[in-house]
Structure 1
Amino acid sequence: MSLGPWQIIIIALVILVLFGRGRISEMMGDFGKGIKSFKEGVADTDSKSAAPSPRIEGPAENGTVDPVKQPDSSDTPR
């Protein structure tokens, strides 16, 4: 069962009568703000994940494994 153009027009008119023009525009504004906030959050998450990961060294020439350098407190910017 599909909706024809007349059914869509009647549904739109009923919604317009129930909520009014001002309330619908307010809801669409809130919806737009939510989408903008979501996009900013996704972009912020992507920029955080772009940070370089610690490098893992392979075996040294003498056959021993070099330890991974741990960040010191002097390495962190303030």
Structure 2
Amino acid sequence: MPYRNYTDNLEEEALMGIGGISIWQLLIILAIIVLLFGTKKLGSLGSDLGSALRGFKNGMKDLDLEKSECDELVSASTLKTNEIQSEQSLTNSVENRV
């Protein structure tokens, strides 16, 4: 078996395209899809997909905002609890002295 170098593999990959499918096969598949659905339907499908992705991203941002608000509330309540406990310990120590 003759030695094959790295550039031979790159040339083969460039000719074959993605996952062993050549560019011509991809073009034929694209042409069949356009014939089946038409350009108008494909355009609306693309815009619908874009709207769905935008909605998903906005939903994720809202979840992040809610999480950060919850984290702020938890840290504020923890701080308040610590203040109350320190006041109670001071009150107890003063009462024990009296």
TM-score, structure 2 normalization = 0.57
Larger Rg: 2
Does the residue aligned with 1:37 lie in a helix, a strand or coil? helix
Corresponding residue for residue 53 of structure 2? 35
Structure 1 runs not aligned, ≥5 long? 63-78
Query: What's the C-alpha RMSD, in Å, of the aligned pairs?
Result: 2.1
Corresponding residue for residue 24 of structure 1? 42
Which amino acid counterpart does residue 82 of structure 2 have in structure 1?
E
In structure 1, distance between residues paired with 2:39 and 2:20: 27
In structure 1, distance between residues paired with 2:66 and 2:27: 46
What's the % identity of the aligned pairs? 24
Q: Which structure ranks higher in relative contact order (CA pairs < 8 Å, sequence separation ≥ 6)?
A: 1
Does the residue aligned with 2:20 lie in a helix, a strand or coil? coil
Structure 2 runs not aligned, ≥5 long? 1-18, 90-98
In structure 2, distance between residues paired with 1:37 and 1:31: 10
| Structure 1 residues 10-29: Cα deviation after superposition (integer angstroms, max 9, x where no partner) | 00000000000000000000
